[in-house]
Amino acid sequence: MKVLVSDNISPKGIAILKKAKLTVDVKTGLSTDELKKAIHTYEALIVRSATKVTRDIIDAAENLKVIGRAGSGLDNIDKTAATKRGIVVMNTPGGNTITTAEHTMALLFSMARQVPQASASMKEGKWEKKRFMGVELYNKTLGIIGLGNIGAHVARMAHGIGMHIITYDPFLNEEKARTLGVKIVELGELIKTSDFITIHAPLTKDTMGMINAERISKMKPGVRLINSARGGIIDEKALHDAIQSGKVAAAALDVFEKEPPEGSPLLGLDRMVCTPHLGAASTEAQENVAIAIAEQIVDYLVHGTIRNAVNFPSVSADILPTLQPYINLAERLGSFLAQIFEGGINEIVVEYKGEVAGLMLEPITAAVLKNILAPILESTVNFINAPLIAKERNIKVKEITSDDAGDYHSMLVVKIRANKKENSVSGVLHGKKYPRIIMVNNFAVEVVPEGEMLVVLNNDKPGVIGNIGTVLGKNNINIARMQFGRAKPGGKAISIVSTDTSVSEKILSAIKKLPNLLDVKQIHLPE
């Protein structure tokens, strides 16, 4: 079997592949057309961040069985297209944790003391002590956006230099925060009270442009920002303007909206520290991820074992066809619930009713956990490590089985609990294949869980649905489906509106202002 390595990885990884008698071609720097032309002869593709594995590439990959990412981030791989083709997508979660956290701290120190600027000045023959006055980190407040593995390690190191740590992480519970010695706050409070802000979140539709002009305006004068996560989370134009005005004293970026950031005005600012996406660029980290992905590719191609896959569980080939429809349903229920639930999570309950209760439940539960945790941990959570991540975050996971599924052959019920709050969603398979949501909390519905949806909680009064339709129609948003449910006439009701396209924040804000609307959330599920 043939493996194409299209980005540079450590020779130690190549050696493992060859030792397993796999044919290995290392072809780096391929253009999109070159890769598209070559990919059909390979069973495996190994990439880092440079190669973009698009839908067109996957469609041309006639024999491809597995895509391996030597690293954690997966935004350069079309996972949906790969899954539809039955191609396993693997990554190496945790391999970059230490090195990325350490690079963040290097940026933090460099920015606070203007080390790169002072070094450049001295190399020009200057001695400018007054120009490069720094600030201390001791006793300052560090705001960490996203307290996954990398963010948590940054917190541990920052504690060591005497910083006060606060964090915004929608999925972190109080017990886990206490073990790390951090305080959980809302994003608005973190923005307003931090002296330094560092980002460790994935790039999603919710985090894109999260640090924008409006949020920067609410920050402390002289705040300093770091991003070693993903480009696009910080609005670079807004950051440029804020540094020029003095609102932001300095910034340190390892990632950019466009890489390389040719022509970016940020590069010309004295108060900018920039590195070319070096977060994972240490000898140890690159060896770790190269060895890990090579071993995973060998395990799959030679032994048929799936490890650290983000789109398939680790089960034998004969069991997977029976489980796959339920895994698909579980993923959609978990993702739906994660997007309507707010706050830290204390407990996740998965109830199996009817025939499904007699199947192998571990991969189905893992699918639920993966998709509940994915919005904040997208690049590191998969079928294999999802239960461990839940445990590390002190989230209790409970499975309940029952023979009784009512009028259905099988039913899954997923619940998220936090303190006294609980949200739940129930789903079934139509024709033992097609997923449907039949209950959201105590509201009976029948929803096709795919694409863009608005989940609306409202008072059961005349005109609510018409008003929503009017706003969407005026903004050229086509409604694909609408489903309604209510507990009792005149009480609270739920409306789930599927749209052909996503709804902008401006339109969403207009809908939220309509009469009798209690809550509106926009969610996205795979097609």
Q: Which residue has the tokens 């018409």?
A: 466
Q: Is the residue at 433 inside a domain?
A: no
Please tell me whether residue 468 adopts helix, strand or coil conformation: helix
Q: Which residue has the tokens 């230490």?
A: 98
The CATH number that applies at residue 12 is 3.40.50.720
Task: Give the span between the Cα atoms of 134 and 112, in whole angstroms.
Answer: 6
Residues annotated as catalytic (active site), given as ranges: 230, 259, 277
Q: Is the residue at 428 inside a domain?
A: no
Tell me: cis bond preceding 325? Omega within 30 of 0 counts: no
Q: Which residue has the tokens 């540094």?
A: 243
Q: Is the residue at 434 inside a domain?
A: no
**263/120 same-domain check:** yes
Per residue of the chain (527 residues), what is the pLDDT tens digit?
Answer: 999 999 999 999 999 999 999 999 999 999 999 999 999 999 999 999 899 999 999 999 999 999 999 988 788 999 888 887 878 999 998 888 999 999 999 999 999 999 999 999 999 999 999 999 999 999 999 999 999 889 999 999 999 999 999 999 988 888 889 999 999 999 999 999 999 999 999 888 889 999 999 999 999 999 999 999 999 999 999 999 999 999 999 999 999 999 999 999 999 999 999 999 999 889 999 999 999 999 999 999 998 788 888 887 777 656 778 888 999 999 999 999 999 988 889 999 999 999 999 999 999 999 999 999 887 665 567 777 788 788 888 899 999 999 999 989 999 999 999 878 899 999 999 988 899 999 999 899 999 999 999 999 999 999 998 999 999 999 999 999 999 998 888 899 999 999 999 999 899 999 999 999 999 999 999 87
pLDDT at residue 316, as a whole number: 65
Task: Give the span between the Cα atoms of 183 and 514, in whole angstroms.
Answer: 35
**15/55 same-domain check:** yes
Q: Are 47 and 70 in contact (CB under 8 A)?
A: yes
The CATH number that applies at residue 467 is 3.30.70.260
**140/261 same-domain check:** yes
DSSP state at residue 220: P
pLDDT at residue 305, as a whole number: 82
**266/317 same-domain check:** no
**330/410 same-domain check:** yes
Q: Which residue, 218, 248, 274, sits at the end of a domain? A: 274
**102/24 same-domain check:** no
**171/217 same-domain check:** yes
Q: Is the residue at 430 inside a domain?
A: no
Please give the residue range of the domain that contains residue 178: 97-274
Task: Give the span between the Cα atoms of 379 and 147, in whole angstroms.
Answer: 13
Q: Which residue, 246, 274, 302, sits at the end of a domain? A: 274
Both tokens assigned to 202: 């994935």
Q: Are 64 and 44 in contact (CB under 8 A)?
A: yes
Q: Which residue, 312, 333, 368, sits at the end of a domain? A: 312
Q: Are 489 and 460 in contact (CB under 8 A)?
A: yes
**185/199 same-domain check:** yes
Please tell me the number of Cα atoms within 13 Å of 489 on its side-chain side: 0
Q: Is the residue at 425 inside a domain?
A: no
Amino acid code (one letter) for 223:
V
**303/318 same-domain check:** no
**356/503 same-domain check:** no
Q: Are 326 and 333 in contact (CB under 8 A)?
A: no
Q: Are 170 and 341 in contact (CB under 8 A)?
A: no
Q: Are 383 and 328 in contact (CB under 8 A)?
A: no
**115/80 same-domain check:** no
Count of structural domains, the chain: 4
Using alpha carbons, list the distances in angstroms from residue 437 to 90, 127, 414, 440, 485: 29, 68, 11, 8, 12
pLDDT at residue 174, as a whole number: 86
pLDDT at residue 377, as a whole number: 63
pLDDT at residue 193, as a whole number: 98
**50/103 same-domain check:** no
